[in-house]
Chain A
């Protein structure tokens, strides 16, 4: 008997849920149930922690729980693929980064199109990547470094992994200038930082360098981003230094394509309010992560532009399929 009751209940529940989802189309009522933000990396990393804080602070503004769910694997592409296939109702979002947005998709089939399958909501962070050498290295600035690689022996540079944004950016520098720069990929940025500290590579292109630079163990020659790192305002970007490359590091929220524009703009407004708040900035400062706001539109342009650049670069390098 209880089984029959259970069945009835389940059926009733199923009907009401379908009814609910059908009526929820209107944006004024949004959200009427919990919103899920997928994080394409494991729990406990900086992307995860910063997204959790963003979600927690957005809850009172949205009036509904905002749940963060980790779906790691495939350098973030697994989660992107599943969100691209999710219902575009504003209840499934993803807090994602440069790599699955415009680096990996430029290199190999990933099962989604970062431009067509998503609507960008906003960008709220993105760690600066630097060009770092050991403090006792002879190179005082980026021009000396490139000059040496042009005339002398090849210099080695470590990055967080094969075919990442930093690798592609420096490949482009090397092509543009004829400098002999040999890439050595490591398993993550931490290992690449250790390698330059230990003198196993000449250069490393990594984020999270602040304390090691301030301690005088590493020297920051340039940043790969389009804008200067506020912690080191005197250090030029590669563009400032006259090299026409940039690796913009983004951490932003995107929704599946087809999400009601009114919902997207509501989310953009709420998340922007959270990310610009003093509390959030203070939290991110503790994590050694910058707060970098871009509107959804700007984020969309950044993704589309860089996807093109990286596709072209990958094709030249013979990696594109």
Chain B
């Protein structure tokens, strides 16, 4: 089957589709506000008349390319192109400011390719068993998993834990706006129809990260003249294999996290990126370098968010059950090509499906080639004076927010989030936990309430399920570990105990 599939790939159109998909994806992903969902939806009509294999290869190439593309603007501009690259921005931008932009981009590229290949292999080999595993995750299991994700991000995400906890809670509270997920009654919408869907992720993201950066620069005017600001030297950007090899455990663990969370419905790629970042930081020998330009801080989230792509395709293809908007659109594309995802896909269309997977694996090659070519140009962005760059970012932010739903409300939300982000950054609060709180808040509430509805209000459902109970135990262990570490770190230097709570 694998060989038949390989022969099916020997078609110039498959190559053209793979290359153009990846390139289009990278470019679209790099533009804040335009994500993979929109890119794929726009390209579906183009694929109507194409053969199944090139058509799907093109769309999946866009998917992978866009997830990676988001990290380019995250690293160079501190403006995540997609929500999932927000974690990459933390150390990626720090590296770029130190002149290591090229290096950060390369690390991101190699880590992305690693994550893609890893999850694609998992998809090829374990799609059926893992899809059944995903079904074991009901409301109770999802609720405890999300609680676990929040715990990890608060405890190991870096910075003061209290600050992170506050930000997570702010995010969760912001998620209350919109229709109640169980009753369907509007909450805090003030009879405004546009708020019924709640705060949209992309406007909030663009506001928090991109607009707030503009505001920061606006109020951080250099005291002298705006003549020449420090433009970082471009340092040589070679990344040796040895350096990537040193991160192998991080890359592997991050890919596992990304693939696994990708399989589960509705969490998306932002949360695993931050979880991997937190994990890499807690495993690192020098966690203090994180946030100041640690290469692993770029590699871990990039491997994770790209690994999500393969994971997310598992339930989509094996069961016909998409976990999020992107995979729902991809599901439609498969159907249009006559390859109806579901239990019969692998049986009836094995050759086509494996050919598509192989094309995905092989498209790592054009991804690296075009990525490296693109970087040669892209790194120079860092040398553009901020006062020339920020008007462009502002326009992109406005456009990006508007284009989600063609709604002005989203633009106001974006600007509001920009002001909030500016104030929070000025006062030293970390923004990522806020984003995670917003992403997970509503889902957590929904899962929790669904679980209690199915159990008739009994909390036993969280201990009766081995998976849910397991997560609760891990959460408890994490909390204990954090307390122990804290006490240990404090005891020897009791006198100089600084307030790193």
Contacts and interface: CB of A to CB of B under 8 A. Distances in A.
Interface of A: 42-46, 48-49, 52, 71-75, 77-78, 81, 107-111, 154, 156, 161-163, 182-188, 190-191, 193-195, 197-201, 208, 211-212, 214-215, 217, 286-288, 319
B45 interface: yes
Contacts of B136: 198
Contacts of B196: 73-75, 77
A217 B135 CA distance: 12
A211 B342 contact: yes
B415 to A, nearest CB: 19
Given A44-B332, A287-B332, A182 B184 contact: no
B454 A43 contact: no
Contacts of B323: 190
Interface stretch (B100-108, B148-156, B314-322, B480-488): B314-322
Given A45-B329, A212-B343, A201 B405 contact: no
Given A78-B194, A287-B335, 13 more contacts: A42-B325, A44-B329, A73-B407, A74-B197, A109-B191, A162-B183, A184-B139, A186-B450, A188-B328, A194-B319, A199-B135, A208-B320, A286-B338
Interface stretch (B33-41, B226-234, B359-367): B33-41
B265 A45 contact: no
B170 to A, nearest CB: 23
A211 B184 contact: no
B187 to A, nearest CB: 12
Given A211-B344, A286-B335, A190 B450 contact: no
B134 interface: yes
27 contacts: A44-B329, A45-B332, A71-B406, A73-B194, A73-B196, A74-B194, A74-B197, A78-B193, A156-B453, A156-B454, A162-B179, A162-B181, A185-B450, A187-B266, A190-B322, A190-B328, A191-B266, A194-B315, A195-B139, A197-B135, A198-B136, A200-B140, A208-B320, A211-B320, A286-B336, A286-B338, A319-B185
Contacts of A187: 181, 266, 443, 446
Contacts of B266: 187, 191
Contact of B340 (A154, A184, A288): A288
B332 A162 contact: no
Interface in B295-325: 315, 319-323, 325
Contacts, number: 140
Nearest to B453: A184
A81 B193 CA distance: 10
B203 to A, nearest CB: 12
B158 interface: no
A156 B137 CA distance: 17
A215 B348 CA distance: 13
A208 B341 CA distance: 11
Contacts of A74: 193-194, 196-197
Contacts of B344: 211, 214-215
Contacts of A45: 328-329, 332
A191 B323 CA distance: 7
B342 A212 contact: yes
Most chain B C-beta atoms within 10 Å of own C-beta, residue among A75, A200, A288: A200
Interface string B180-202: 11111110000101101100000
Contacts of B44: 43-44, 49
Contacts of A194: 134-135, 265, 315, 319, 321
B320 A200 contact: no
Interface in B362-406: 405-406
A212 B340 CA distance: 12
Contacts of A163: 183-184
Contacts of B406: 71
Interface string B140-166: 100000000000000000000000000
Interface string B254-272: 0000000000011000000
Given A46-B332, A200-B138, A185 B182 contact: yes
Contacts of B180: 162
The bracket for how many chain B residues form the interface is 35 or more
Nearest to B191: A109
Given A71-B406, A194-B321, A161 B184 contact: yes
A99 to B, nearest CB: 11
Contacts of B129: none
B463 to A, nearest CB: 16
Q: Top 5 nearest A-B pairs by Cβ distance?
A: A200-B138, A162-B184, A44-B329, A43-B41, A198-B135
Nearest to A183: B453
B340 A182 contact: no
B370 to A, nearest CB: 25
A167 to B, nearest CB: 9
A71 B405 CA distance: 6
A212 B320 contact: yes
Contacts of B405: 71-73, 78
A198 B137 CA distance: 7
Contacts of A108: 185-186
A193 B321 contact: yes
B456 interface: yes
A156 to B, nearest CB: 5
A92 to B, nearest CB: 15
A43 B184 contact: no
A16 B92 CA distance: 54
B342 A49 contact: no
Contacts of A208: 320
B42 interface: yes
Contacts of A287: 332, 335-336
B336 A162 contact: no
Contacts of B38: 43
B340 A211 contact: yes
A215 B343 contact: yes
Contacts of B42: 43
Contacts of B321: 190-191, 193-194, 197
A187 B333 CA distance: 21
Contacts of A188: 328
Contacts of B41: 42-44, 48
Contacts of A200: 138-140, 454
A194 B133 CA distance: 11
A75 B194 CA distance: 11
Interface in B36-75: 37-38, 40-42, 44-45
Given A73-B407, A184-B450, A288-B335, A212 B179 contact: no
Contact of B265 (A184, A190, A286): A190
B368 to A, nearest CB: 29
Contacts of A161: 184
Contacts of A44: 37, 40-41, 44, 328-329, 332-333
